[in-house]
């Protein structure tokens, strides 16, 4: 289960993710991102309520960065311990902007 | 030891994780460790479901064996599909700039890093991947 709460204001988009970002739910986020990122310059992913992320979820985060490339930046905020560890063991902590 | 045998299909991932979580929860596994194990079991099961029997289908078995001293778990995932050792795959380069990053192989990398021990064997026409984690 993943709930996606999306707020877009001018060129800034905030996606709050609530639940699990896994093989089953990652396609939902991918679809939302593909439909929403036109004209977005700042994308903020708020992971405060994200309990779980697998490599299927990482794939979508990488896609988001690529979709924004040269047009905008992405920032990840409020990741929990497990999500941070997944970022660290995969080297994503070096390529994502995490706050 | 408890075992769940089912068709290796991505649609059954939730059943596999529910089975693992129930066993680990009953054993007092800390939530973070449980999530780490879920991440790994998801990778392994989705790989089997995607490739072991493609383009056909077949079964997979997930077995959970708990231990007390030290507290931990041994999980085996087996299938009768084509022989394939996922651990033989070269680790992806995680130092590349973002534009050159590819996602393939990250699951195996996470499997190795999040578990204490990972082993593969091909025995009796089965791929058997063994995962060990203590807490």
Statement: residue A70 has pLDDT above 90: no
**Strand B72-79 to A97-98 pairing:** unpaired
Residues of A in contact with B42 (CB under 8 A): 22-23, 54, 56
Statement: residue A1 has pLDDT above 80: yes
A51, A52, A91: residue with CB nearest B94: A91
Nearest CA in chain B to A91: B94
Per-residue model confidence as pLDDT tens digits over B63-79: 999 999 899 999 999 99
Cross-chain Cβ contact A23/B110 below 8 Å:
no
What's the rounded Cα separation, in Å, for the pair A11 and A76? 17
Statement: residue A3 has pLDDT above 90: yes
What's the rounded Cα separation, in Å, for the pair A25 and A93? 22
Statement: residue B62 has pLDDT above 90: yes
Per-residue model confidence as pLDDT tens digits over B26-44: 999 999 999 999 999 999 9
ipTM above 0.95, yes or no: no
Is B2-134 CATH 3.40.50.970?
A: no
Choose from B20, B24, B94 for mutation: most chain A CBs within 10 A: B94
Please report the pLDDT score of residue A69 as a whole number: 80
Rounded average pLDDT over B51-69: 96
Strand order in the sheet with B126-134: B2-7, B59-67, B72-79, B126-134, B117-123
Rounded average pLDDT over B8-19: 96
Residues of A in contact with B35 (CB under 8 A): 51-52, 82
B42, B98, B114: residue with CB nearest A95: B98
Burial class (CB in 10 A: 0-12, 13-18, 19+), A3: exposed
Q: Which domains, from first to last, does chain A contain?
A: 2-98 (3.30.750.24)
Segments making up each domain of chain B, as ranges? 2-134
Tokens of A6: 């999306």
pLDDT tier for residue B56 given thresholds of 50, 70 and 90: very high
Statement: residue B103 has pLDDT above 80: no
Q: What percent of chain A has pLDDT above 70? A: 100
Residues of B in contact with A54 (CB under 8 A): 38-39, 42-43, 107
């Amino acid at each position: 289960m993943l709930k996606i709460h999306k707020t877009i204001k001018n060129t800034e988009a905030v996606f709050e993710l609530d639940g699990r970002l896994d093989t089953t739910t990652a396609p939902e986020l991918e679809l939302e991102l593909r439909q929403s990122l036109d004209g977005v310059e700042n994308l903020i992913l708020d992971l405060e309520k994200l309990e779980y992320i697998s490599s299927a979820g990482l794939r979508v985060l990488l896609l988001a960065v690529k979709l924004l490339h040269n047009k905008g930046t992405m920032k990840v905020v409020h990741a929990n311990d497990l999500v941070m560890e997944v970022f660290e063991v995969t080297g994503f902590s070096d390529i994502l902007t995490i706050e | 030891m408890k075992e769940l045998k089912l068709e290796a299909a991505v649609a059954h991932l939730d059943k596999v994780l529910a089975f693992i979580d129930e066993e680990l929860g009953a054993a007092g596994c800390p939530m973070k460790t449980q999530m780490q194990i879920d991440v790994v079991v998801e990778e392994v099961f989705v790989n089997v479901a995607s490739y072991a029997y493609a383009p056909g289908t077949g079964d997979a078995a997930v077995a959970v064996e708990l231990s007390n001293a030290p507290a931990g778990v041994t999980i085996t995932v087996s299938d009768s599909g084509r022989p394939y050792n996922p651990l033989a795959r070269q680790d992806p380069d995680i130092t590349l700039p973002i534009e050159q990053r590819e996602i393939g192989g990250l699951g195996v990398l996470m499997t190795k890093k999040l578990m204490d021990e990972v082993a593969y064997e091909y025995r009796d026409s089965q791929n058997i991947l063994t995962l060990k984690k203590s807490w």
